[in-house]
């Protein structure tokens, strides 16, 4: 990398800490594209975590990297609303476009010497920064807890769709079913496959993948089960 004599490094979706010895190589430093409004939702799974937590406004941040985990000075930010039904896959692709546009602008400003980095300290409380710190997903993070409020269940499902997919055990299945799409039930949903959650509200399972079978609608699954 030293032999490349690069002016600037750009990093996106890289799951490891880049050592300071690498960051010191380019004369203009290294920029990182992060899909959250830093310092909130630092770490490995910011998109999934924001959807799971029901965040309604987020964005993309470009930082000048240091050796910490998403702790570098902020150079550019763009904000964007998150749709109530938007899935991880949809948000990932949309924020990738936003991130590419913002990174191109940051590279241009770095070349012109017009970047104005600002520290992350003071932009959010230490408690909120710690509360929103993210980590890689484990198997336990994919399991639906039906005792949770219905909206929390819906948000978990969309945070894991289309992959790796939320998991749940339904009556009659020895193995977990993969739930790909869910929504809050209404009075008009009496014919749909529903599960009542911990707050007494029901969730409609619109799309799922039974063990060793292809994806199907919740209604088709219920009909086959009967």
**DSSP-derived secondary structure letter, 43:** B
Smallest Cα–Cα separation from 55: which of 177, 203, 163, 158?
158
Q: Give the pLDDT of residue 205.
A: 97
C-beta separation of 88 from 51 below 8 A: yes
Q: For the segment 26-43, what is each residue's pLDDT rounded down to a tens digit? A: 999 999 999 999 999 999
The CATH number of the structural domain formed by 139-225 is: 3.10.25.10
Beta carbons within 8 Å of 197's beta carbon, 6+ residues apart: 146, 147, 148, 149, 150, 152, 153, 203
Q: Which CATH number fits domain 2-131: 3.50.30.30, 3.30.9.10, 3.40.50.11540, 3.40.50.170?
A: 3.40.50.170
Q: From CA 178, how far away is CA 173, in angstroms rounded?
A: 11
What's the pTM? Answer: 0.95
Q: For the segment 40-92, what is each residue's pLDDT rounded down to a tens digit? A: 999 999 999 999 999 999 999 999 999 999 999 999 999 999 999 999 999 99
Smallest Cα–Cα separation from 159: which of 58, 35, 53, 59?
53
Q: C-alpha distances in angstroms, 110 versus 3, 10, 23, 25?
A: 21, 12, 15, 15
Phi–psi pair at 125, nearest 5 degrees: -70, 150
Fold agreement (2-131, 139-225): no
Domain ranges for the chain, please list them: 2-131, 139-225
pLDDT of 173 higher than 90:
no
Q: Give the pLDDT of residue 192.
A: 94
3-state secondary structure of 167: strand
Phi–psi pair at 180, nearest 5 degrees: -100, -25
- DSSP code per residue over 65-86: --SSSS-SEEEEEEEEE--TT-
Which residues is 181 bridged to in the sheet?
Answer: 207
pLDDT of 172 higher than 80:
no
């Amino acid at each position: 990398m030293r032999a490349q004599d690069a002016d600037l490094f750009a990093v996106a979706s890289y799951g490891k800490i880049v050592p300071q010895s690498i960051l010191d190589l380019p004369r203009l430093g290294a920029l990182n594209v992060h899909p959250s409004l830093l310092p909130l939702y630092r770490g490995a799974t910011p998109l999934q975590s924001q959807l799971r937590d029901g965040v309604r406004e987020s964005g993309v941040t470009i930082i000048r990297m240091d050796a910490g985990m998403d702790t570098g000075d902020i150079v550019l930010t763009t904000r964007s609303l998150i749709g109530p039904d938007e899935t991880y896959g949809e948000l990932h692709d949309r924020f990738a476009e936003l991130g590419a546009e913002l990174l191109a602008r940051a590279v241009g400003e770095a070349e012109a010497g017009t970047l104005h980095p600002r520290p992350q300290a003071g932009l959010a409380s230490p408690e909120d920064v710690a509360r929103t710190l993210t980590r890689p997903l484990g198997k336990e993070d994919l399991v639906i807890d039906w005792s949770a409020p219905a909206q929390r269940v819906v948000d978990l499902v969309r945070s894991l769709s289309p992959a790796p997919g939320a998991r749940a055990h339904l009556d009659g299945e020895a193995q977990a079913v993969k739930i790909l799409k869910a929504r809050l039930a209404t009075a008009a949903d009496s014919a749909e496959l529903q599960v009542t959650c911990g707050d007494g509200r029901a969730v409609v399972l619109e799309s799922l993948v039974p063990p060793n079978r292809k994806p199907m609608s919740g209604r088709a699954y219920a009909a086959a089960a009967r």
